[in-house]
Structure 1
Amino acid sequence: MDLKDPDIFHPPVKRSITIAGHQTSITLEPLFWDLLKAASEQRDLPLNALVAQIDVLRLEADEPPGLATAIRLWLVQDLMAGEGAG
């Protein structure tokens, strides 16, 4: 998505997914939903499975963030790693 595209500023969208055997709602901006879907496809994982992995990682933190925040942070870290950064 291009930063000049007005759709990049679309408000967050709530979606329901099942992780760890229970239904949960996650609210993310469409850009992050697109990135999450691409990351799951790149890893040949269902979206729910990737979110479950991110959930496990966030719960290991000393002060776990909310799931939506953890997903955003994980996606940024994943993008930076793919670009050879930090």
Structure 2
Amino acid sequence: MSATRVTAPPGGFEGPVKRSITIAGHQTSISLEPLFWNALERAAAERVLPLSALVAQIDALRIAEAEPPNLASALRSWLFAQYICDNDASRSQ
């Protein structure tokens, strides 16, 4: 098996961008890299939800955890599970 060269993500590496979003009637700020914002927007569109509604659903799942992570970490983890883990599972079937 030959080694595959590692490349930068499309658009290069970018630092977090802070956005304000309303969850359960209150404003909160979330800092995520543009790659994650784009993935969240795509996930919301696939579910025919506003971005704030998707984030609120993920936030509710996060809060239910025994030791909830911060919201940005929960969003990244959820996205990873949706797009990476689900793809791996469908390939193995």
CA RMSD of aligned residues (A): 1.8
Runs of 4+ in structure 1 deviating by more than 4 angstroms, as ranges, are: none
Max Rg structure: 2
Query: Is 2:31 the partner of 1:32?
Result: no
Render the CA deviation track for 1:13-59: whole Å, top value 9, x for unaligned. 00001011000000000000000000000000000000000000000
Match of 1:62 in 2: 66
Please, what TM-score do these two structures have when normalized by structure 2?
A: 0.82
Compared CA separation, residues 20 and 9, structure 1 to 2 (3 A): same
Which of 53, 70, 77 does residue 73 from structure 1 map onto? 77
Sequence identity percentage: 57
* Ranges in structure 1 where 5+ consecutive residues have no aligned partner: none
How far is the alpha carbon of 1:9 from its aligned partner?
1.1
Please, what TM-score do these two structures have when normalized by structure 1?
A: 0.89
How far is the alpha carbon of 1:83 from its aligned partner?
1.1
Matched residues in 1 for 2:51 and 2:64: separation? 20
